[in-house]
Amino acid sequence: FPLWICKTVGGTTMHWTAATPRLQAHEMRALSTYGEITGASLVDWPISLADLEPYYARAERMMGVTGTNGIPMLPGNNNFKVLEAGGRKLGYTDIDTNRMAINPEPRDGRGGCLQLGFCTSGCATQAKWCTLYTQIRDAEQTDHFELRPESMVMKILHEGDRVTAVQYLDTEGQMHEQKARFICVAGNAPGTARLLLNSASTHFPEGLANTSDQVGRNYMRHMLAAVVGIMPGEVHIYKGPQVAGVIRDETRHDPARGFSGGFQMHTVGLSPGSLADLMLQGKWGHEFTSVLEKYRNYATVMIMGEDLPTADNRISLHPERRDQYGLPVPVVHYTNHPNNRAMLHYGLEQCNKLYRSLGAEQVFDLKDVFPATHNMGTARMGE
């Protein structure tokens, strides 16, 4: 099962698109809202959206999120204008250029967005918020921060129920022990679970903090599919932010649609190479070139939906295979819940209608072709 992570200073903020939607209240009370669903391990969060809101506000201020704190929204590119026009034809109303952690104008020592496109490849003007040149930059100006890149944490040590240190290998392969009173484990969902499971001890034989057998379980990655429409005129999806706009009307919980939870539809700017790989696999000659040569006319929309947690969707440790450090490699177990498939089917239908309402010459569904890009779960909160 393919998934994307980012082993670099700055982590996944290096290659994210910088879209910053908040969770909705009903998503934090999934069990109470959706009820018991066969095969799903739904629970309500032990905290509420109201508990999170002050921290959302602080994060949005720090990152400079558009549409908050007096920061203007980004302008809409052509891909967004197509999305908005088709969305309004279908009766959608909650449409805009999205809350983005991208500067529309210079701010915080960083440049403003120049609409260069392909945000996941890095931002030349540093308009996109990334810890590499924001929080890490600021921390390096203090006397309380030391960066040790290209190191690999092997294990978290503890005495009783308190952590005491981490063992890690440096760039030369030398083992070190860093003592600590507090340790922040932020290895993305797969890496966090792997480290906790690799930190098993006689006190925690199934992995650190895993007396509940929940570490590694309930792996999620958002439901993901896309639709490409070849429009009558040129769109130039490569200009502007990759996520240039969003339709939120379908994020509500409405079981009359045939599934629980919801999804959003947002633009996505993909390169010719990416689209050829995703859309035209196995095609050759004229069948390939006749479609790819119309790249300037492509409009693209992505379905990003809530996938349900299940106990068997998980990260585990391989019983035999080891990486270059001698650690067991992580194994990803993932099967689509029927609710996910129903949501994707409905979402693809809506996106097809959207482009066809504008006279699209051809429409392509891209499903079951994307790696996981939003790794979630594996360390469930609560008792």
91 pLDDT above the threshold of 90? yes
Beta strands in the chain (DSSP E): 95-96, 152-159, 162-169, 175-179, 223-230, 246-247, 263-267, 298-305, 314-322, 328-333, 362-367
Which residues make Cβ contacts (< 8 Å) with residue 50, sequence separation at least 6?
none
Q: Which 8-state DSSP code applies to residue 46?
A: S
Q: What is the pLDDT of residue 288?
A: 85
C-alpha dihedral over 268, 270, 276, 280, to 10 degrees? 0
What is the spatial distance between Cα 109 and Cα 133, in angstroms, rounded to a whole number? 10
pLDDT at residue 205 greater than cutoff 90: yes
pLDDT in tens, 133-175: 999 999 999 999 999 999 999 999 999 999 999 999 999 999 9
Domains annotated on the chain, with CATH: 11-137+219-367 (3.30.560)
Please name which of 52, 48, 46 lies closest in space to residue 383, comparing C-alpha atoms: 46
d(C-alpha 218, C-alpha 214), whole Å? 8
Instruction: Pull the structure tokens for residue 382.
Output: 């609560």
**pLDDT the model gives residue 132:** 95
Q: Which two tokens stand for residue 262?
A: 């919801």
Split at pLDDT 50, 70, 90, the class of 356 is very high
What are the phi and psi torsion angles at 29 (to 5°)?
A: -125, 55
DSSP category for residue 144: S
3-state secondary structure of 44: strand
Sign of CA dihedral 56, 129, 223, 355: positive
Band the pLDDT of 217: cuts 50, 70, 90.
very high
Contact by Cβ (8 Å): 299, 268: no
What pLDDT does residue 251 have? 98
